[in-house]
Chain A
Amino acid sequence: NAGVTQTPKFQVLKTGQSMTLQCAQDMNHNSMYWYRQDPGMGLRLIYYSASEGTTDKGEVPNGYNVSRLNKREFSLRLESAAPSQTSVYFCASSEFGQLILYEQYFGPGTRLTVT
């Protein structure tokens, strides 16, 4: 099992450009998440998908959109990149539970720089 995979691993964008970060998991998890990690800030949730067909905003959703393509795949799109979106982006997945948040398994991350 590959676990959670992300593409690309590195990306440099110019301000105003758009791109999509791809994420896939092979653990048959229902829930998937996108986080950003900035120095000294820990991880902050951008969007999540509790189950296939649903998506919801997290703590810092502005400037991003997501698509839950199917149970395995969850993409994050930056429509018009800004320097403030320079960060490391992590995708994660977990089992589904209404009263229990199971541990999340993370992908290797995408390091994005916006100039």
Chain B
Amino acid sequence: AQKVTQAQTEISVVEKEDVTLDCVYETRDTTYYLFWYKQPPSGELVFLIRRNSFDEQNEISGRYSWNFQKSTSSFNFTITASQVVDSAVYFCALHSGAGSYQLTFGKGTKLSVIP
């Protein structure tokens, strides 16, 4: 069975603070993919990153960075110097199982950045 846990339901930070969103996953497969999506107040889902289970290198994209640790089954997302435009719900998702098309989403973390 696959499961994604985002324990933080809501987080509030003051603009320019750094914030980390936690994601813990469960799967028995050795090959799997992890994703992060952003859902701003407008409602659409925006793809942020995909990472496969064989690539544990951390990734940085501007103010965004991702820390993938297989030892703790975590794929955490950090926003540096947060901005009001970062306010959104962020979803972590897992795909595992060859031939499967199912993407398992966490319940999301709502981030509010206060000016």
Query: Once the chains bind, are A48 and B101 in contact (CB under 8 Å)?
Result: yes
B55 within 8 A of A: no
Contact call A104/B43, Cβ cutoff below 8 A: no
Q: Which residue of A lies closest to B6 (CB)?
A: A42
- Closest Cβ neighbor of B4 among chain A residues: A42
Residue A50 is within 8 A (CB to CB) of chain B in the complex: yes
B97 to chain A, nearest CB (A): 9
Contact: B33 with A56, CB < 8 Å? Answer: no
User: Contact string, A71-104, partner B, CB cutoff 8 A, digits 1/0?
Assistant: 0000000000000000010101000001111111
* Cα distance, A101 to B43, chains bound together (Å): 23
Question: Hey, which chain B residues are within 8 Å of A102, CB to CB?
Answer: 50
Q: Is the CB of A98 within 8 A of B98?
A: yes
Collect the chain B residues with CB atoms within 8 Å of residue A12's CB: none
Question: CA–CA, A42 to B9, complex, Å?
Answer: 11
Say yes or no: B101 contacts A42, CB within 8 Å. no
Give the interface size class of chain B: 20 to 34
Q: Which residues in B have their C-beta under 8 angstroms from that of A48? A: 101-102
Would you list which residues of chain B between 61 and 97 have a CB under 8 Å from chain A? 91, 95
The answer on a CB contact under 8 Å between A58 and B102 is yes
Task: Assess whether B95 is in contact with A101, with CB atoms less than 8 Å apart.
Answer: yes
Binds B, one of A14-22, A62-70, A105-113: A105-113
CB atoms of B101 and A56 under 8 A apart: yes
Distance in angstroms between the alpha carbons of A102 and B105 in the assembled complex: 15
Are B103 and A101 touching (Cβ within 8 A)? yes
A90 and B107 form a contact (CB under 8 A)? no
Within 8 A of B (CB), among A15-61: 31, 33, 40-45, 48, 50, 56, 58-59
Q: Quote the shortest CB–CB distance from B96 to chain A (angstroms).
A: 9
Residues of B near A31 (CB, < 8 A) are 101
Which residues of chain A have C-beta atoms less than 8 A from B98's C-beta?
Answer: 98-99
CA of A40 to CA of B91, assembled, Å: 11
| Interface residue ranges, B against A (CB under 8 Å) | 4, 9, 31, 33, 35, 37, 43-47, 50, 52, 91, 95, 98-103, 105-108
